[in-house]
A and B are shown apart, each in its own frame.
Chain A
Amino acid sequence: MPRLEPRAEASQAMRFAAPLVALLVTAGITACLMFGFGRDPVDGMRVFFVVPLESARGLAEIGLKMTPLLLCALGLALCYRANIWNIGAEGQLLAGSIAATGMALSIGPGNSHVAGLLVVIAGAAGGALWAGLTALLRDRWNANEILVSLMLTYVAQLMVLYLVNGPWRDPAGMNFPVTRMFDAAASVGAIVPPYRLNWGFVVALVAAAFGWVFLFRSRIGYRLQVSGNAPLAARFAGFSEREGIWVSLLICGTLAGLAGAFEVAGPLGQLTAQVSTGYGFAAIIVAWLGRLTPLGCVLASFVMSLIVIGGELSQSRLGLPGAITMVLQGVLLLALLSADTFVNYRIRWR
C-alpha cells in the first residue's frame, strides 16, 4: 500500500506546481466529459481557452467576470487565513446587491452625481451587515460559521426572489421578476465604452494590492494569520480571537457586497432573480487556487472567469448543460487539494 511520508521541509516547487497540475488534470477531465457527451474535445478546449481571448470584447468580458470573483476571493482568502470558514460570500454578495438596489431605487432620478458612489457604498454596507450576522452568531453564541453563513446564503437568495417578485417588481417589466433599470447616475460607468467592463474592475485590482499589504505587512493582518495558524500561539501572544472573527468577516462581507453592487449597478443595471451565477461559491475555489494570496487570487480569478465564460459558450455553441461550470469548479478544487498534499508529503511505496 502506498504511504504518505512527511517531507522535512514543505516543497516550495510543489506549492507553485500544484495549481498548474490541478489545471491540467481539470482540463483532461473536461476533455473526457466532452468526449463522453459526444463532442469533439479539441473544439471544446478551444471554447474554454481560446475563443474568450480572441477579441477585445472577450477580454473585457473576462475582466467583467473577474471583478466579483476577485473581490469575493480576496475576502475569503483573508477569512481562511484567519481560520474562519466563511462559505457564504454568495449570500454576502446578494445582500450587497439588495442594499445597492435599495439605494438606487430610492434616489430620485438623475439629480446627483454622487448617486453611483452611494449605491456602491450601500452595497458594501449590505454585504458587511450580512457577514456581520455570521460574526455575531459565532462570537456571541459560538455557532458554527460554516453552517450559519451558508444558511444565510439561502435566506439572501429567497430575499432576492421575494423582492423582485413582490415589492420591487418593475410594473412595466411584463411580469418578469426584475426591478426597474437604474438611472444612469446611479450606475457604475464603463471604463472604455462600448465594452461593459466597468470601474469595479479597477476597484478589485486596487483591493488586491491593499490586501497584500494588509496580509503581509500590517500588524492586524499578522495577528489574524497567527490566530488562524496557531490559536494557542495567538493566545500566548495576547491577540484577541474575537478580533479575528469580526475583522475577517466584516472585510469579506464588505468586498462581497461591493461585488454585488458592481453587478446590479454595472452590467445588469437592475436587480434580477439571477443576479449571481454562483460567484461567491466559485470564489472559494479562486481563493484556494490563488494560494490564499492576493496576487495569486488575481491570476486565479482570471482562470476561473475563463471557465465561467467557457461554460456559457459551451452551452450556446456545443449545447452542453450550463452545469458544466460547476462540475469543472468542483473537479478543479479536488485536483488542487490532492496536489497540495504533495507540498508537505511524498508517496512511498512499500
Chain B
Amino acid sequence: MSAPPRLALAGIVKRYPGVLANDRVSLEVAPGEIHGLIGENGAGKSTLVKIIYGAVIPDEGEVRWEGRSVRIQTPSQARRLGINLVFQHFMLFDTLTVAENVALSLGSSADRGRIARDVSLFGERYGLPLDPLRPVHTLSVGERQRVEIIRCLLQRPRLLIMDEPTSVLTPQAVERLFGTLRQLAAEGVSILYISHKLEEVRTLCSRVTVLRGGRVSGVCDPREASVADLSRMMIGAELPAAASHAKLAGEPLLVVRDLSVPARSHTGVSLHGVNLQVRAGEILGIAGVSGNGQNELLSLVAGEDRRASAGSVFVGGDDVSSIGVAGRRTRGLAFVPEERLGRGAVPEMGLGLNTLLTHDERSNPGLVRHGLISTSGVTELAERILRQFGVRAAGPRATARSLSGGNLQKFIIGRELSKAPRVLVVAQPTWGVDVGAASQIRREIAKLASEGAAVLVVSEELDELLELCDTLQVMAGGSLSEPMPARNANVERIGVMMGSNPVQASNAAA
C-alpha cells in the first residue's frame, strides 16, 4: 500500500448566513505533490484555505492529516502539524524588521541572531535573498512575498499553501517562484497552489481540483487538459469573447507632462518625470507591479492630491494641475479607484446617496431641489444605473456594503459612465470580479472608447491590458516607460521593465 495522502478533505461543508461557501468538498494532496486549486472569485477557495489553516471551523466533514483524522481549531495548531500559508494579502508588520517578522511566527524560544542567519541561509538556498535587518515597509512587494515564504520555510512545512501568489509578481519573478516551489516539492513538501490563472496551473501543477459555486466541479491533470476544458469546469462555459473597440486617433484629452512629486509618507513612492498622453478614442494601459507609484499617479491625475506643479496635468487641453477633484470632474474627467468600499463608495450609505459622490445638479438637475437633496431624484438615478448595467442589488436603497464585489464595481463604473465622461481613469477594473462581470466591464470600457473618450487603465493583470488597450506603458519605481503598441507587445520585455528601472530598460530594448 502506498503512503497515505498528506492532506485529505472529505465532505467539507461550511455555511454562512445566506451562502453555502463549501458544499461537500473533497480534496487530496499527496506528499511532494504540487496540487492546484482553481475557481472563480466566490467559488469557495478562500473558505477552504481558511478551513485547512484552522482559521475557520467547518460545519461538517472530515480532515485527515497523513492518514489521521484531525480537527484543526486554530492557525497555530495547523502550523504545529506542518501546515503553512503564504497569504495573498501579506500578513506582515510594516514597522518591524524582516527578522522580527520571522521571529513572530517562530515562537518565543528562537534566538534573534540565529533567525537572522537562517533568513540569509534559506534565502540563498531557495533563491530568495533578503536583508534580515531591514524594516518591512522599505521592501518592494516582491521582497515582501519572500519574507512571507521564508517565514513559512523556517517552520519546516510539510504542506505549503500558496494563495494567489503571482498577482504581485513580474513574469520573471513568477518563473523564479515556480523554480523555488518545484525545488521544495522535490524535497517532499506538498504544495497547494491556489490561483484563477489557468495557464499557471497548467505549467506548475500535476493535479488540479476545480471549485464552482462551492462544489468540486472536477479533478484532473491540467497538463492534459486544455484551457477551454478547465474554463468549462471553472465557469461552466467557454471564456467570454475579448472586448474590442475601433481605434480612433483623436486629439489628446489627458496629458501628463514631466510630473515629479515626492512621496507623501514613509510607505509612499516618489514620481520621477512621468509623461503620458491619451487621445480621444484611445485606451492606454499602465502595467506594473502594484506599489510602484500607480496610486500616487492616480491621485495626482484625479486631483485628490493637489501637489502637481503647474503645467503638468491637462484634461481636454486645460491645465488642471492646481484644480481640485470637482473642477476636473466638470471638465469631463471620471475616476474609478481601486478600493471600491470606502473610497469609490461609502459602505454604510445607500446606493442612491452614493451617486452624490460624483454626481451633482449640473450633471443631473433632478438630484437637488430648492438647494436640498431630492430623495426621489437620487433614487431614480440609482435605479437607472442598476437597470442599465445589470447590477444585482436589493434596490436603490441597499447599502453599498451589501453588494458583492463584482456588482459594486459594476455600480461604480456605471455611475461614472452614466455621466458620459470625456476622460475615464480606472484602476484594477476587474480585480476580484467574476469572469462574467469582468468581461462586461471590459466591454463597457471599450464601448466608451469607441464613442470617443480617452481611457487610462491601470492594472496588475497584463492579460487584461493586452486585451483591452491600444498602447502600453510600464510603471516601476515611480517612473513610467515610453509608450509601446499593445498589439504584438513582447511580454518578456514588459516583464523585464516591470522589475527594473524602466527608463534604462526601454532604452536598452530600443
Contacts and interface: CB of A to CB of B under 8 A. Distances in A.
Interface string A192-233: 000000000000000000000100111100100110011011
A229 B350 CA distance: 13
Nearest to B19: A8
B346 A230 contact: yes
Contact of B344 (A8, A226, A233): A233
Nearest to B368: A219
Contacts of B371: 218-219
Given A9-B402, A217-B373, A219-B373, A236 B347 contact: no
A57 interface: no
A86 B371 CA distance: 29
A225 B373 CA distance: 14
A222 B353 contact: yes
Given A230-B342, A350-B57, A8 B18 contact: yes
B18 A236 contact: no
Contact of A218 (B325, B335, B349, B373): B373
A230 B346 CA distance: 6
B344 A236 contact: yes
Given A229-B346, A232-B339, A237 B399 contact: no
A242 interface: no
A37 to B, nearest CB: 43
Interface in B338-395: 339, 342-349, 353, 356-358, 368, 371-373
B372 A218 contact: yes
B477 interface: no
B372 A222 contact: no
Contacts of A235: 304, 325, 343
Given A9-B402, A222-B353, A229-B347, A213 B372 contact: yes
A232 B353 CA distance: 16
Nearest to B359: A237
A46 interface: no
Contact of A233 (B18, B342, B368): B342
Contacts of A238: 303-304, 324-326, 329
A317 interface: no
B interface majority secondary structure: loop
A8 B345 contact: no
B357 A236 contact: yes
A217 B324 CA distance: 24
A233 B358 CA distance: 10
Interface string B454-474: 000000000000000000000
B325 A236 contact: yes
B61 to A, nearest CB: 16
Nearest to B305: A235
Interface residues of B, number: 32
A232 B371 CA distance: 25
Interface string B392-417: 00000001001000000000000000
Interface in B26-78: 57
Contacts of A5: 17
Given A236-B357, A238-B325, A238-B326, A226 B346 contact: yes
A9 B399 contact: yes
B55 to A, nearest CB: 12
Nearest to A219: B373
B74 to A, nearest CB: 11
Contacts of B356: 222
B213 interface: no
A130 B63 CA distance: 63
A7 B342 contact: no
Interface residues of A, number: 22
B285 interface: no
A227 to B, nearest CB: 10
B205 interface: no
A218 B303 CA distance: 24
A217 B372 contact: yes
A229 B325 contact: no
Contact of B402 (A8, A216, A222): A8
B302 interface: yes
B222 interface: no
A134 B254 CA distance: 42
A222 B325 contact: no
Contacts of A236: 302, 304, 325, 335, 337, 343-344, 357
B17 A8 contact: yes
A233 B344 CA distance: 6
A233 B346 contact: yes
A111 B254 CA distance: 68
A237 B373 contact: no
A9 B329 CA distance: 33
Contacts of B349: 225-226, 229
Given A229-B346, A229-B347, A230-B343, A237 B353 contact: no
Contacts of B335: 236
Given A8-B402, A222-B356, A232 B343 contact: yes
Interface in B301-330: 302-304, 324-326, 329
A225, A233, A350 — which one has the most chain B CB atoms within 10 A of its CB?
A: A233
A217 to B, nearest CB: 4
A2 B356 CA distance: 40
A232 B302 CA distance: 13
Contacts of B57: 350
Given A8-B18, A236-B304, A222 B373 contact: yes
Interface in A232-264: 232-233, 235-238
B388 to A, nearest CB: 22
A7 B17 contact: yes
Nearest to B325: A238
A230 to B, nearest CB: 5
A197 to B, nearest CB: 32
A8 B402 CA distance: 7
Contacts of A218: 371-373
A342 B57 CA distance: 22
A216 to B, nearest CB: 8
Contacts of A237: 325, 357-358
B191 to A, nearest CB: 31
A286 B402 CA distance: 29
A213 B369 CA distance: 13
Contacts of B325: 235-238
Contacts of B329: 238
A57 to B, nearest CB: 40
Interface in B143-189: none
Contact of B342 (A8, A213, A232, A350): A232
A8 B329 CA distance: 34
Nearest to B360: A219
A237 B327 CA distance: 11
Contacts of A219: 368, 371, 373
5 contacts: A8-B18, A217-B372, A217-B373, A236-B357, A237-B358
Given A217-B372, A233-B357, A238-B325, 8 more contacts: A8-B402, A9-B399, A219-B373, A229-B347, A230-B347, A232-B343, A235-B304, A238-B304
